[in-house]
Structure 1
Amino acid sequence: MKGAWRDDPRSLARAQGAFNLAGGLWPIVSVRSFEAVFGPKEDRWLEYTVAGLLSTAGVVQLTAPPGPDGVRLARRLGLGVAATLLAIDLIYVPAGRLRWTYLLDGAAEAGWIAAWVAARDRPPREDDGWRWFRAQA
């Protein structure tokens, strides 16, 4: 697999973080459009709870500190979120509890898992911390 994500897992963390944040905010911002795509929910509180947790995971991935510790944090969180959502999609769509459109999400989650598996833990370069510090100024 070629690409920036394989050689720069921080970019992968930011991309998945943005995806998770957007997915979490969607039902909070417009529950009507979310349910038009993914079907009505019996428990709105549960829908909002999952949305909040997904948004939180996205923010953590987007703000993970530079360097190997931040990448490890983003990887663990990203794999955990993607595996959980994929499992739910694969169990509850065939059972008829979730609409088939959740399989589209399942495909995306499988893609995030594959990307993290393929991503290398790039050894930090000596100037990584300084580059981040300069970008904050």
Structure 2
Amino acid sequence: MDTERARPVLLGQAAYYLGTGLLPFVSRRAFEAVTGPKREWWLVQTVGAVVTVVGGTVASAAARRRVTPEVLGLAAGSAASLAAIDVVYVARGRIAPSYLLDAAAQAGILVALARASRPHAESSDGA
């Protein structure tokens, strides 16, 4: 993988994760306005903390140009896991449909990472 091509994707993912991960700690009211009321606030904060740590780790690796296969695995695995949880639990009626917006964002991250991992096409016409 061309890690330089992955860096902007990883930085975008990190920014998204930092924002969404920290939101429950900044404003419960704002978080619940988007996602609906929560009974288990400790669980929201636990997930927020983990997402924040992933975002910080991905940001640090991308900023320092230290994008390893392990960092890419963390980034892609987190996006895939969060998207799957969003879709499954919206379908089961356990979480608000607004979580499908997050699933779409996670899918976008996965598509962008996949595109960045493709070999760079060289121009064959000499241009």
TM-score using structure 1 length = 0.78
Aligned residue in 1 for 2:65? 66
Query: Does structure 1 residue 95 correspond to structure 2 residue 92?
Result: yes
Aligned residue in 2 for 1:116? 113
Query: 5 Å matches for 1:1-137?
Result: 8-64=5-61, 65-67=64-66, 70-120=67-117
Structure 1 spans left out of the alignment, 5+ residues: 124-137
8 Å contact kept, 1:85–1:106: yes
Distance in 2 between the 1:105 and 1:6 partners?
25
Q: Deviations over 1:47-88 (max 9, x none)?
A: 000000000000001101414xx2423321111111111111
For residues 56 and 45 of structure 1, do their structure 2 counterparts lie closer, same or farther at Cα, with a shift above 3 Å needed? same
Counterpart residue identity of residue 117, structure 1: A
Q: Deviations over 1:7-38 (max 9, x none)?
A: 62112111111111111011110111111110
Counterpart residue identity of residue 58, structure 2: Q
Counterpart residue identity of residue 41, structure 2: R
Report the alpha carbon displacement of residue 121 of structure 1 after superposing the two structures with TM: 7.1
Pairwise CA RMSD: 2.2
Aligned residue-pair number = 117
Distance in 2 between the 1:26 and 1:122 partners?
37
8 Å contact kept, 1:9–1:122: no
Report the alpha carbon displacement of residue 41 of structure 1 after superposing the two structures with TM: 1.1
8 Å contact kept, 1:9–1:71: no
Structure 2 spans left out of the alignment, 5+ residues: 121-127
